[in-house]
Amino acid sequence: MITMNDQVKHENAPRGTVKPLSKRERKAAFRRWTFFAGVSWNYETQQAPAVAYSMARALRKIYPNDDDYIEAMDNHFNYFNITPQMGNLVLGATLAMEENDGLKAKDAVQNLKVSLMGPLSGVGDSIFLVLWPTIIGGIAGYMALQGNSAAALFWILVSAALYFVKMGLSKIGYDSGTKLITSMSERLNIFTDAVSAMGIMVVGTIIATVVKIYTPLKFVSGKVTLSVQTGVLDKIMPALLPAAMAVLVYWLLGKKWWTPTKVIILLVIVSLIGAYFNILGVASTK
């Protein structure tokens, strides 16, 4: 998805050189995300390729040094998944941080993305995927039932207006990111640590609530039956098995031979074997 124009080499300036973006260049980056947020979606990094494509030209301008540019681009190929409309808000803020502080803000940029994509997706899904189509679709549908031929045109025009909403969110995010950096420029390390802690909390919450691992194994001694899951593991720590699996996956991904695809295949195999031998099962919803 990265075009040849994005990869044109600049004069290799000294490392650490940061150049500002023009308003037009910022809008171009936001426009790329607006139209291509779902392009190259994959199961490993999900929307990361679209993020990298959206930011490529802007980062090429910000980082005239080739090594700086490569490092910044690599940072945006990390996992990212958010309601596309809310992604404008996050990418606007991260672009402002990179433009103002360069690679010094690298960790803060990634941690901010990780921290915000979950909460903002909750808001964005409710507004843009449920509320907006329900209201607008309801009005357009009622118009169509009344025989009004303008119903389809109404739906198209109102939906097209989302473009301006997305671009507006990009500007809000950019302005917020600029203010954040300028007001905390002397305390960037503190901010980075705070965002890192928030990101870890979000990831920990996702592991405990989304990852489902359950074992139906039971200890039986005479008339006494003890469930391994509820009687042992949950007593030690709720969501212990999901946490253990997350640690294992993190450890495997740190090994040179393991890739996300190989880890996914391993998890599928372990799940099938565990289910076949009744070591793993489906948790009761009651």
* Domain end position, chosen among 205, 240, 261: 205
Instruction: Clarify whether residues 256 and 180 are in a common domain.
Output: no
Instruction: Clarify whether residues 76 and 147 are in a common domain.
Output: yes
Report the domain count for the chain.
2
Instruction: Clarify whether residues 233 and 190 are in a common domain.
Output: no
Tell me the mean pLDDT in the region 129-156. Answer: 83
Q: At what angle do helices 106-124 and 188-210 cross, to 10 degrees?
A: 40
Task: Decide which of 187 and 105 is more confident.
Answer: 105
Q: What is the pLDDT of residue 11?
A: 59
* Domain end position, chosen among 162, 189, 205: 205
Strands (E), the chain: 218-221, 224-227
Instruction: Clarify whether residues 108 and 227 are in a common domain.
Output: no
Token representation of residue 186: 């002397």
| Residue-wise DSSP of 175-218 | HHHHHHHHHSGGGHHHHHHHHHHHHHHHHHHHHHHH---B---E
* Domain end position, chosen among 184, 205, 226: 205
Instruction: Clarify whether residues 112 and 220 are in a common domain.
Output: no
Instruction: Clarify whether residues 27 and 139 are in a common domain.
Output: yes
Q: What is the pLDDT of residue 172?
A: 86
Residue 267 lies in a domain: yes
Instruction: Provide the pLDDT confidence category of residue 269 given band limits of 50, 70 and 90.
Output: very high
Statement: residue 286 has pLDDT above 70:
no
Instruction: Clarify whether residues 139 and 170 are in a common domain.
Output: yes
- φ/ψ of 15, rounded to 5, equals -60, 140
Q: What letter represents residue 279's amino acid?
A: I
Instruction: Clarify whether residues 266 and 200 are in a common domain.
Output: no
Instruction: Clarify whether residues 174 and 253 are in a common domain.
Output: no
Range of the domain at 155: 23-205
Instruction: Clarify whether residues 198 and 258 are in a common domain.
Output: no
pTM: 0.63
Residue 48 lies in a domain: yes
Tell me the mean pLDDT in the region 121-150. Answer: 82
Residue 4 lies in a domain: no
Residue 234 lies in a domain: yes
Alpha-carbon distances of 186 from 114, 191, 198, rounded to whole Å: 23, 10, 20
Residue 15 lies in a domain: no
Residue 8 lies in a domain: no
The 10s digit of each residue's pLDDT in 28-77 is 999 999 888 888 888 888 899 999 999 999 999 999 898 999 999 999 99
Tell me the mean pLDDT in the region 186-202. Answer: 64
Instruction: Provide the pLDDT confidence category of residue 285 given band limits of 50, 70 and 90.
Output: very low
Q: How far apart are CA 15 and CA 73, in angstroms?
A: 15
Instruction: Clarify whether residues 29 and 140 are in a common domain.
Output: yes
Instruction: Clarify whether residues 149 and 178 are in a common domain.
Output: yes
Residue 16 lies in a domain: no
Residue 9 lies in a domain: no
Q: What is the pLDDT of residue 276?
A: 87
